[in-house]
Amino acid sequence: MKEDTMRDKVVVITGASGGIGAAVGELVSSRGGSVVLVARREAPLREVAARCGPNAIPIVADMTVRENVRLVVAQSLARFGHVDVWVNNVGRGINRVPSELTDDDIDDMVRINVKSALYGMQEILPHFKERGSGQVINISSVLGRIPFAVFRSSYNGAKHFLDALTSNFRSEVQETHSGIQVTLVSPGVVRTDFGNNARHGGPDSRQLPNSQSADEVAEVIVNVMETRLPDVYTRAGTCDRVMQYYETLGVDP
């Protein structure tokens, strides 16, 4: 029985108006938790909040703007008194090969995929330090480990950046506050609007092979709130695939 496993937990989820973020919010709520749902799109965000029930609040905010992130922290604490888990789920893909990338392409990928997570980690950290506990969960991608999708180019690079930043942030914080965990979750292809919303267009993620549903990924994310593992993939066998990729390259240690 998992109905009460999140009772008394408060979880902030960014990028929560659809896809993975919405699925995480609904799953946390179904297990007794309270959720702060954050996104830029007000109408779908409010629909997700309605499905999550009375212990959910929607906040319309752009997480690539630091002042907005500070507002989300303040409103979350004002409503619930504390935060247990902060999920950085804002992200956007791209459809452009590296030889054609522009400055704007790279800036956009870093702003959305890296800065939104950095701002979240930095702004919730004082609260976690005050409590001596807490967990940040950064949603990355398998492409942050193996950049095999050439058309995603600078998205791959941004997720590599996020992976390293997550590891470094964890090491820094746990030197003085061992009760704070910083977790990286790396999905593969997920059947959402991610591909359709990518900079410069598709392909549609729903049409790509070996995909997962948002609900399957949400199950992994919510479970890691309980296990507090530092680094997880959302599909079995992915770790072996990553290791095989680098062996195939002939990397010399």
Question: pLDDT tens, 200-243?
Answer: 988 888 888 888 999 999 999 999 999 999 999 999 899 999 99
Residue 176 burial (CB < 10 Å; 0-12/13-18/19+)? exposed
Quick one: tokens of 25? Answer: 């919010």
Helix H or strand E encompassing 235:
none
pLDDT, tens digit (0-9, with 9 covering 90-100), for 170-199? 999 999 999 999 999 999 989 999 999 999
Q: What is the pLDDT of residue 251?
A: 65
- Please report, rounded to a whole number, the percentage of residues in the chain having pLDDT higher than 90: 87
pLDDT at 60 over 60: yes
Q: What are 60's strand-pairing partners?
A: 39
Report the alpha-carbon distance of residue 163 to residue 180 in Å, rounded: 17
Q: In the CATH hierarchy, which top-level class contains the domain 10-248?
A: alpha beta
Packing angle of the helix pair 103-110, 153-174 (nearest 10 deg): 40
Separation CA 187–CA 191 (nearest Å): 11
| Torsion angle in degrees (nearest 10) through CA of 49, 204, 90, 186 | 110
Q: Which amino acids are annotated catalytic?
A: 155
| Bridge partners, 183 (sequence order) | 137
Residue extents of the structural domains in the chain: 10-248
DSSP 3-state of 182: strand
Tell me the whole-structure pTM to 2 decimals: 0.95
* Residue 252: per-residue pLDDT: 62
**What does the block give as tokens for 201?**
């267009």
Could you count the other beta carbons within 10 Å of the beta carbon of residue 125?
Answer: 20
- Residue type for position 248: T
What is the average pLDDT across 80-106?
Answer: 97
Contacts for 247 with CB less than 8 Å, ≥ 6 apart: none
Say how many residues make up the chain: 253
pLDDT score of 110 more than 90: yes
Any idea which of 75-79, 187-191, 219-223, 246-250 has the lowest mean pLDDT? 246-250
Averaged pLDDT score across all residues of the chain: 95
Higher-confidence residue: 50 or 206? 50
Q: 80 near 10, Cβ under 8 Å?
A: yes
Calculate the alpha carbon distances from 253 to 148, 240, 245, 247 in Å: 21, 18, 14, 10
